[in-house]
Amino acid sequence: MANRGRVTKAKPKAATGKPAKAKEKAREKATAKAKAIARPAAAPQRLAPPVLSVRVAPQVTLESWSNGHLGAVVDFYPLDLGQPSEAAKKRVLALKDGIKLGTLGGERQADQEVARVVQVLARQGLVEYPLTREADRAEIAIIEPQMADYWPDVSKLASTDTVVLSRFAYLRRRGSEMVLESPRAGALIRIIDPAIATMLTMLATPQTVGTLRKLAGFPGIELLGLLVDCAILFKLDKPEDDGRRPSEGDETLVMWDFHDLLFHARSAEGRQANLVGGAYPYLDSIAPPPAIRPGWQGARVDLKAALPTPSETVSSAAKLFRERVSVRDYDDQNPITLAELSLFLDGTARVLSRWESPLDLEDGSDGPMLDYTRRPYPTGGSAYELELYVTVANCAGLASGLYHYDADAHTLTQIPARPEQLGAMLDFAQFAMGADGRPQILLTVTSRFARLAWKYSSIAYALTLKDVGALLQTLYLMAADMGLGGCAVGTSDIDLFEKTTGLPFHVEGPVGQFTLGRPVATDEASDTSPPRR
């Protein structure tokens, strides 16, 4: 991205508007084609609505323990579910086969006890929700929560409502199942009834609920409502809307490419139930790849022989590179000071200068005026889309809390945040580092995705991650130079950050983290100790 003046001339797909008539024709054609595939039944079917149940996920075993408590065993780990009444216990144990979700809202004490246990299990992603056809008791789909607070809500839909598939939704094979997913959804749907896939094909173009209802094998309006709740389908306000990119969500969402939003949601914690981090999934099947690539065969140039004498080689930069280490444990009796934090941010992230220049459209004309900054670390296209949020746990002269670093004014602005959310962010970093205590300071690097995506197609998210790498090394080197300790943290919880700050995950979200503080003396610098994480 060295050439910051370079402009991709291709217009965003959303802007390449076909004339209205052609669009209408294309839509009619697509609808007719989809209708042909879906073979409408002669008359609207009035079948009993499918039933939504809740049951424990396959990896969970429910047990009645000898101390009177109910327990769930998840991959050998026991989870105490408390001591509900005998009546409630019996119903909770029935969660193995499933209980109807509709029966959970009752007033009776036992109903409420069951609902509480279900919620505890649901928050840990230990339940799933089968949708069963009444007529033959066949399961047509199963909902698997991906976010801790997912609860299946059936959005209300009228026959006259028009719905369309989100451009972020995708259907794929997972093992021997078909799953319908979206980075925007709080849950994924295992599709069992092929008629649902047929309906989804039709939903590539907007359809009224009334039209869908007439389909042979229509899976029920409840499923449509659940899909709308998951943002896998969305409702169109105006019938003439073609359901394309600009119809779905705010300007920032419009600028996300499908693969970028999927990458963002699937490579962080908070919006998915998959394993994240060092789980060694191929331990039993594939040998560990080596630390050093096996050499190429061929003639070699020996660079060692070409090295100048040691006195000429060790520049202050090279010395700093060699001294840099990851420091995970901090001296809480002697914490980092506000003056040190100020110097650290000044040296690594502060805006050095600002300028404006018009966008060169490369046809002799100018586009809008664009503003740029210069900062100590490099960034793709001079975008400087990265922001720093400072979570302070222990800093002499600065109150604990969450702050945004204004890199232009060199000030910290406190953001109201609940102490338990800040504690969760610090604990997350402590756990990721395998550290003995919380870090004194946690820097959360966020990306204002739109700043990059406004310019770059297809590479915006990849660029932001590369920018994070450049910033992280800058933070590491400054910490080493100042005698402070720091450590990169490879994962972030994008949902926790959204809940803490109120910033939607697609607008501005964490893409990196770095802990900072006064180091305690450890043997971390040892060249032979294995990485803790």
Ligand X SMILES: Cc1cc2nc3c(=O)[nH]c(=O)nc-3n(C[C@H](O)[C@H](O)[C@H](O)COP(=O)(O)O)c2cc1C
Binding site for ligand X (CB under 6 A): 325-326, 328, 432-433, 472, 487-490, 531-533
Nearest CA among 163, 143, 285, 310 for reference residue 224: 163
Q: What is the closest distance, in whole angstroms, from the C-beta atom of residue 464 to ligand X in the complex? A: 13
- What is each CA distance from 516 to 92, 333, 422, 429, 477, in whole angstroms? 46, 15, 16, 11, 12
Orientation angle between helical segments 20-38 and 194-202, nearest 10 degrees: 160
Q: What is the closest distance, in whole angstroms, from the C-beta atom of residue 489 to ligand X in the complex? A: 4
- What is each CA distance from 305 to 181, 299, 302, in whole angstroms? 56, 15, 6
- What is each CA distance from 120 to 62, 165, 320, 331, 439, in whole angstroms? 13, 32, 49, 37, 29
Identity of the residue numbered 65 = W
Closer by beta carbon to ligand X, 232 or else 488: 488
Closer by beta carbon to ligand X, 272 or else 491: 491
Euclidean distance between CA atoms 81 and 121, whole angstroms: 9
Closer by beta carbon to ligand X, 214 or else 533: 533
Euclidean distance between CA atoms 353 and 362, whole angstroms: 26
CB 495 within 8 A of CB 505: yes
Euclidean distance between CA atoms 140 and 132, whole angstroms: 6
H-type alpha helices, 369-492: 419-433, 449-453, 460-482
Euclidean distance between CA atoms 33 and 30, whole angstroms: 5
Closer by beta carbon to ligand X, 282 or else 321: 321
Identify the residue whose tokens are 């709740």: 229
Residues across the chain: 533
Closer by beta carbon to ligand X, 325 or else 390: 325
Closer by beta carbon to ligand X, 38 or else 433: 433
Q: What is the closest distance, in whole angstroms, from the C-beta atom of residue 515 to ligand X in the complex? A: 9
Closer by beta carbon to ligand X, 298 or else 531: 531
H-type alpha helices, 10-144: 20-38, 86-93, 109-123
Q: What is the closest distance, in whole angstroms, from the C-beta atom of residue 428 to ligand X in the complex? A: 10
Closer by beta carbon to ligand X, 142 or else 429: 429
- 21 burial (CB, 10 Å; 0-12 / 13-18 / 19+) is exposed
Closer by beta carbon to ligand X, 422 or else 445: 445
Q: What is the closest distance, in whole angstroms, from the C-beta atom of residue 513 to ligand X in the complex? A: 8
CB 476 within 8 A of CB 376: no
The torsion region of residue 270 among left (phi > 0), alpha (psi -120 to 50) and beta comes to left
Closer by beta carbon to ligand X, 142 or else 488: 488
Closer by beta carbon to ligand X, 56 or else 445: 445
DSSP string over 211-269: HHHTBTT---HHHHHHHHHTTSEEEESSTT----GGGSS-HHHHT--HHHHHHHHHTSB
Q: What is the closest distance, in whole angstroms, from the C-beta atom of residue 458 to ligand X in the complex? A: 23
- 364 burial (CB, 10 Å; 0-12 / 13-18 / 19+) is exposed
The residue with its CB nearest to ligand X is 490
Q: What is the closest distance, in whole angstroms, from the C-beta atom of residue 491 to ligand X in the complex? A: 6
Q: What is the closest distance, in whole angstroms, from the C-beta atom of residue 443 to ligand X in the complex? A: 13
Q: Helix (H, G, I), strand (E, B), or coil: what is residue 429?
A: helix
Q: What is the closest distance, in whole angstroms, from the C-beta atom of residue 393 to ligand X in the complex? A: 17
Closer by beta carbon to ligand X, 231 or else 480: 480
The torsion region of residue 280 among left (phi > 0), alpha (psi -120 to 50) and beta comes to left
The torsion region of residue 484 among left (phi > 0), alpha (psi -120 to 50) and beta comes to beta
Q: What is the closest distance, in whole angstroms, from the C-beta atom of residue 519 to ligand X in the complex? A: 11
Q: What is the closest distance, in whole angstroms, from the C-beta atom of residue 147 to ligand X in the complex? A: 22
Q: What is the closest distance, in whole angstroms, from the C-beta atom of residue 488 to ligand X in the complex? A: 4
